[in-house]
Structure 1
Amino acid sequence: MSKKLLGMVLASLFFVACSLSPEQAALVRSVELPDLVLTNATYVLDRGEDTPLTVVAGQIALYDQSHTGVVSDLTFSQKDAQGTLVLQGSADAATVDLQSYDAQLQGAVSVEKIDQNFLIEAEHLRWLHDSEMLVSEEQTEVTVTYEGNKRVRGIGLRADLATSIVTFEQVLEGVVLL
């Protein structure tokens, strides 16, 4: 009888020691784990409306509940219907809305529109998919290099990749000659 009682006491101590406080349990339940994680992956985004965008990444984590993709160490490229490279870029990380395909690009972001001969570089850019627009945060400095050697640095970037029209709220360095 005493061994049985001792066993029950030890078991209850074990369960008490291993149980989480209500605060800890709520924190564990609030963490969303990815539904799918791809490592050293190539992902082709083809929505049927334009030529596909190819993304190569160190890691892609997809979250079904929040409709979010978190991508690290990425490069991307797009070719036209004839197979000619027209767009390429890279970033340290990106967070993508999997419904709208809008994205936040962070860390050493570069986007090059090869057929228009311009390069956009920043530490943080937002991609608005439906309007094909790259937008910088208010005080994020962005450098645009065009025609191979002309350079403009500014803040408040709005770059329409469909029309190749680039505007700044404020130019910090450089001049655009028409």
Structure 2
Amino acid sequence: MSKKYLLGMVLASFLFAACSLSPEQAALVRSVELPDLALTNATYVLDRGEDHPLYIVAGYIALFDQTHKALATSVTFTQRDDQGSVVLQGSADEATVDLQSYDAQLRGSVTVEKIDQQLLIEAQELQWVHEQQLLLSEGREEVLITYEGNKRVRGTGLIVELATSNVTFERVLEGVVLP
């Protein structure tokens, strides 16, 4: 072998050794799932063809193909009827959406408003169960409901059937829910 070839091999092995990750670093890299697609200041349309699509505008959206999840921050969403009027709107600081079931977890200054029913829901965290069209709060998470413009109810254990606007609380902390 020539001296140049040997010197090249030695330098390459030093470079490879200097650039390789420690076992701890390698484990950390393998544990972080990178998105398949990341978008900033984007609009994403959730449309299963069975209802009017939900238009989501977010400061950041990350899509993960393997887990069928979308993570979004600075989220606003709207849904329009056949005439183009907004029937549902809301916002959240963060959202995690299952792209197969369309179930979602909304976190941080969450608002959901059903315009035609004059129903406004405000919470720090809500869960959306798409198949049953339910909004849920878990545990002791307090939720404020404003309806008919000025009537307010605050409670925990919220269940809202969004299709019918039927609202129930496990525990009412303030206000009165009328049948």
TM over 0.5: yes
1:81 aligns with 2:82: yes
Match of 2:164 in 1: 163
Give matches, 1:57-96, under 5 Å.
Answer: 57-96=58-97
Match of 1:102 in 2: 103
What secondary structure sits across from 1:66 in the alignment?
Answer: coil
Match of 1:22 in 2: 23
Range with greater deviation from structure 2 (45-54 or 136-145): 45-54
Give a deviation string over 1:16-72, Cα, whole Å, max 9, x none: 222112232122122211111121111222211111111111111100011100011
Cα distance change, pair 129–3 in 1 and its aligned pair in 2 (3 A): same
1:125 aligns with 2:147: no
RMSD: 1.8
Number of residue pairs aligned between Structure 1 and Structure 2: 178
Q: Shift in Å at residue 2 of structure 1?
A: 7.9
1:142 aligns with 2:143: yes
What secondary structure sits across from 2:163 in the alignment?
Answer: coil
Q: Shift in Å at residue 83 of structure 1?
A: 1.7
1:31 aligns with 2:32: yes
Output the TM-score relative to the length of structure 2.
Answer: 0.91
The residue type paired with residue 164 of structure 2 is T
CA distance in 1, matches of 2:12, 2:74: 47
CA distance in 2, matches of 1:46, 1:15: 48
Output the TM-score relative to the length of structure 1.
Answer: 0.92
Gaps of 5+ in 2: none
Cα distance change, pair 8–157 in 1 and its aligned pair in 2 (3 A): same
Match of 2:51 in 1: 50
Q: Shift in Å at residue 13 of structure 1?
A: 3.3
What secondary structure sits across from 2:83 in the alignment?
Answer: coil
